[in-house]
Amino acid sequence: MTRELTVDLTSVAGAAVLRPGGDIDMSCAPAVRKAVANIMRDRPERLIIDLSAVAYMDSSGIATLVEALQQSMRNKIKLVLVGVTPQVHSAFEITKLVSMFTIVATLKDASNA
Amino acid sequence: MTRELTVDLTSVAGAAVLRPGGDIDMSCAPAVRKAVANIMRDRPERLIIDLSAVAYMDSSGIATLVEALQQSMRNKIKLVLVGVTPQVHSAFEITKLVSMFTIVATLKDASNA
Amino acid sequence: MDREPCISVRLFSDPKLLSPIRAFVDGLSKSIGFSEKSRGLLSLAVDEALANVIRHGYSERTDGLIWLNIWRLHEPAGLRIVLEDLGRSVDPTLIKGRNLADVRPGGLGVHIIKETMTESKWEMRPGGGMRLTLVKLLAPEERENSSPTQSENCTP
Amino acid sequence: MDREPCISVRLFSDPKLLSPIRAFVDGLSKSIGFSEKSRGLLSLAVDEALANVIRHGYSERTDGLIWLNIWRLHEPAGLRIVLEDLGRSVDPTLIKGRNLADVRPGGLGVHIIKETMTESKWEMRPGGGMRLTLVKLLAPEERENSSPTQSENCTP
Ligand SMILES: Nc1ncnc2c1ncn2[C@@H]1O[C@H](COP(=O)(O)OP(=O)(O)O)[C@@H](O)[C@H]1O
Ligand SMILES: Nc1ncnc2c1ncn2[C@@H]1O[C@H](COP(=O)(O)OP(=O)(O)O)[C@@H](O)[C@H]1O
């Protein structure tokens, strides 16, 4: 378990990839929020959030993603979610937010979605 | 989650394969014990216990296996353990019983060990 | 309620304790026969309820007391969890999920709790604080997995 | 002991509750920074201690009371768990692991507990029953993973 934020900036496609790890709950969502804000400041064309290492997310995590979506729309950044695990998908479903987001299966799809 | 016991009898090699699933603790070890005793009664040449679906085992599970080993030696049945998961391996290690058992990596090895 | 709760937990209002409590709720609901999906939602609902107590009841103080009293239910099978705290008391009618059409961050917890649970009821606790009663019954297809006599966590 | 326990759990001496308690201990020790291997052994040690209370303290009755009081320790970082019961009281010197050279089923629980924990102490409880104090400190290599200020269950 490292506590460092993993951010890969794939310069080729102009896409930033954020890959949070662990559970995103009340105690951890603020750190993800900050990481998203930092990336937004660089105005990438595309922000890919890879959730494949996130086994659990509660409403604070979802709120963080909704906020990111709103910021990305304002800044004309394409936001794509990839690697949504089952519990995280349930949380999106029960809050009826699945359709709000562009969700794809693989990182490759995320560059084209 | 089925509660049925899965026992494959591979007639070719004269080996019985017992594959318990779930956690083997105080509340569950008696059922495994009974299953082992049933198989022993048929006197197979070889009893393979496949533990790959057992993520957790405590000393009641270990006691059951030690008893099985002693019975198998009395009855000249070759007992082989396969698919030992990390926690189960730790439990064997800490009780210094690793060397008592024939432990192999794959089911294929288990027929030849 | 049948007899005493099978498990009572007392914890501090510390967000660091959310993760172990989720693991515990997941393990308990597994032993009762809930499907993996139901278990994920149950852990989520309890997490949301605790997060609300920490955030709204105790204004993010980490030294507030929270009690979880837990019952296994039989016929119909399920789980009852009663959460109590000594934090701010609010009129239960003010605790409502927001309109999901209004997309904004926040305001999802109560919605998640109500959608997930068979029953959810907020009350002001007589001695101060709030009491939240949560009940989730097994779905018909989950009932086959639940056996009151045999141990639930193994397929020997 | 620093302050009050961060979590107190009261449960019945029911073997069906072992599995959710293990999940809880695993989650808690993860949040403290224990490695996966240490977590597996910690859950095992607590399981063995509870199984002994159920078997020897309560002769397998399922309605005996058991209390778990849990502290996070700081400097050095770790976990303290105190188990109490109202079952049979025995002279602590009689609670000993068996000689492992004598291979037979049973008699492994106390050995596992002593090997796993940094400290383990059995006492007769003044009001009846037994008290078992378990302490496990983080190993040096685990300490890097433990941060008292930041949340432990995420790598944002
Ligand atoms: N335990 C509680 N104590 C006091 N107020 C609460 C509690 N739980 C919920 N509420 C109230 O209900 C509202 C909706 O809660 P929720 O849907 O979880 O959204 P959020 O917590 O993001 O505001 C909260 O804003 C709060 O006013
Ligand atoms: N909580 C307890 N209350 C009373 N006696 C105990 C307790 N825990 C352990 N003992 C005693 O210590 C012995 C060794 O325990 P253990 O190593 O777990 O093996 P086992 O439970 O298989 O006998 C037990 O047989 C019992 O006599």
The CATH number covering residue D11 comes to: 3.30.565.10
For the cut 70, the answer to whether the pLDDT of residue C156 exceeds it is no
What's the mean pLDDT in C58-80?
Answer: 96
pLDDT of residue A2: 32
Is D153 within the bounds of a domain?
A: no
Is D39 within the bounds of a domain?
A: yes
For chain C, the domain total comes to 1
For the cut 90, the answer to whether the pLDDT of residue C85 exceeds it is yes
Closest C-alpha to C101, from A100, D122, D65: A100
Is C76 within the bounds of a domain?
A: yes
Token readout for B97 is 């019983």
Domains in chain B: ranges and CATH = 6-112 (3.30.750.24)
Q: How sure is the predictor about C101, in pLDDT bands with cuts at 50, 70 and 90?
A: confident
Any idea which residue has 């020997």 for tokens?
A: C156
pLDDT of residue A80: 96
For residue C145, which residues of chain B lie inside 8 Å, CB to CB? 1
Is C152 within the bounds of a domain?
A: no
Token readout for B107 is 């089911």
Listing from the earlier edge strand, what are the strands of the sheet with C154-155?
B56-57, B21-24, C154-155
Per residue of chain A (113 residues), give pLDDT as tens. 333 445 555 655 678 999 999 899 998 899 999 999 999 998 999 999 999 999 999 999 999 999 999 999 999 999 999 999 999 999 999 999 999 999 999 988 988 88
What's the mean pLDDT in C28-39?
Answer: 94
Q: How sure is the predictor about C147, in pLDDT bands with cuts at 50, 70 and 90?
A: low
Residue range B39-80, pLDDT digits in tens: 999 899 999 999 999 999 999 999 999 999 999 999 999 999
Is D2 within the bounds of a domain?
A: no
Tally of CA atoms within 13 A in the half-sphere of A90 that contains its CB = 22
Is D152 within the bounds of a domain?
A: no
Q: CA-CA distance, B94 to B110, in Å (whole number)?
A: 24
pLDDT of residue A10: 60
pLDDT of residue A111: 85
3-state secondary structure (DSSP) of residue B1: coil
Question: By alpha-carbon position, which residue is closest to atom 23 of ligand 1?
Answer: C107
C129 contacts chain A (CB < 8 A) = no
Residue range D27-57, pLDDT digits in tens: 999 989 999 999 999 999 999 999 999 999 9
Secondary structure, 3-state, chain D: CCCCCCEEEEEECCHHHHHHHHHHHHHHHHHHCCCHHHHHHHHHHHHHHHHHHHHHHCCCCCCCEEEEEEEEECCCCEEEEEEEECCCCCCHHHCCCCCCCCCCCCCCHHHHHHHHCCEEEEEECCCCCEEEEEEEECCHHHHCCCCCCCCCCEEC
CA of C108 to the centre of ligand 1 (A): 9
For the cut 60, the answer to whether the pLDDT of residue B88 exceeds it is yes
Candidates D11, D28, D153; nearest CB to C6: D11
Q: Splitting chain D (156 residues) into consecutive groups of 10 residues, what average pLDDT does each group show?
A: 80 95 94 95 98 97 97 94 97 87 81 97 97 97 67 47
A44 contacts chain D (CB < 8 A) = no
β-strand pairing of D130-137 with D119-124: antiparallel
Closest C-alpha to C23, from C50, C5, C43: C43
Q: Enter the ipTM.
A: 0.87
Is C14 within the bounds of a domain?
A: yes
Range of the domain at C130: 7-146
pLDDT of residue A4: 40
The residue whose CB lies within 8 Å of the most ligand 1 atoms, and thus the one to mutate among C56, C91, C114, C130, is C56
Is C153 within the bounds of a domain?
A: no
* Alpha-carbon dihedral sign for residues C95, C101, C102, C103: positive
